[in-house]
């Protein structure tokens, strides 16, 4: 056998294929893959956070104003219109129409404002004065009525609600809030309101402590 045959029959060295970094890729996938079990940032931790608070039974309520007041204007305009129709003179339709719009519009605005800012609603959990709602657990003390001649500090305190003072034809009930400030709750039937507020306040604190 010749040298040429030896060189022809010599097997060529096998070229090793580069190893694919499957292990490294798998490791990176494990590291970079998001954890499906982790809560998303947009989800709420407490699903009951958006649930409405149960205020319980309504214990005391004053609407602040009655809609029957809006009927005064139409009744007056109707009486004047009847007198003009039955009389010999001319009926002033335009003037009566303008006065009717003014009287009805003014009375509607007045009643709506009273029912918004002067209404009182006491439940087993909250006290609403106008548009302000105060949880009963945020009230630390309900002061008794002042039956003596001396002036009490709570009688000159700011009123609850958006009005700076106790509304007309209402009387105040002194309260100390949890932050230490002294305010006046108020109602028209102040004696019944004080009794209901005191009992509801004690019951709310007992429920919280148990």
> Of the candidates 159, 142, 130, which has an alpha carbon nearest to the alpha carbon of residue 199?
142
Domain locations in the chain as residue ranges: 62-117, 125-209
Give the model's pLDDT for residue 52: 57
Is the separation of the CB atoms in 155 and 145 below 8 Å?
no
Strand-pairing partners, residue 175, are 142, 183
First to last CA, the chain: 107
> Of the candidates 82, 79, 80, 73, which has an alpha carbon nearest to the alpha carbon of residue 100?
73
Give the model's pLDDT for residue 134: 96
What tokens does 83 get?
């007198």
Give the model's pLDDT for residue 45: 53
pLDDT tens for the chain, 210 residues: list them: 444 444 444 445 454 444 544 444 444 444 444 454 444 444 445 444 455 567 789 999 999 888 888 888 888 888 888 888 888 878 888 888 898 889 889 989 988 888 899 999 999 999 999 999 999 999 999 999 999 899 999 999 999 999 989 999 999 999 999 999 999 999 999 999 999 999 999 999 999 888
Give the model's pLDDT for residue 49: 42
Give the model's pLDDT for residue 174: 96
C-alpha count within 13 angstroms, C-beta hemisphere, residue 102: 8
Give the model's pLDDT for residue 73: 82
């Amino acid at each position: 056998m010749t040298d040429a045959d030896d060189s022809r029959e010599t097997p060529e060295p096998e070229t090793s294929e580069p190893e694919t970094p499957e292990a490294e890729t798998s490791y990176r996938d494990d590291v970079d893959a998001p954890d499906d079990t982790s809560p998303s940032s947009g989800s709420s931790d407490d699903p009951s956070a958006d649930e409405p608070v149960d205020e319980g039974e309504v214990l005391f309520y004053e609407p602040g104003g009655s809609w029957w007041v809006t009927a005064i204007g139409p009744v007056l305009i109707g009486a004047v219109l009847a007198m003009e129709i039955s009389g010999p003179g001319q009926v002033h339709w335009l003037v009566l129409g303008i006065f009717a719009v003014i009287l009805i519009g003014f009375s509607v605005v007045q009643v709506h404002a009273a029912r918004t800012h002067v209404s009182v609603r006491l439940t087993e959990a909250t006290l609403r004065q106008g548009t302000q709602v105060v949880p009963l657990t945020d009230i630390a003390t309900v002061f008794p009525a002042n039956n003596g001649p001396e002036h009490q500090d709570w009688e000159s305190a700011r009123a609850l609600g958006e009005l700076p003072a106790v509304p007309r034809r209402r009387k105040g009930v002194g309260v100390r809030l949890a932050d230490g400030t002294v305010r006046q709750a108020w109602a028209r039937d102040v004696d019944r309101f004080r009794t209901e507020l005191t009992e509801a306040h004690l019951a709310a604190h007992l429920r919280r402590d148990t």
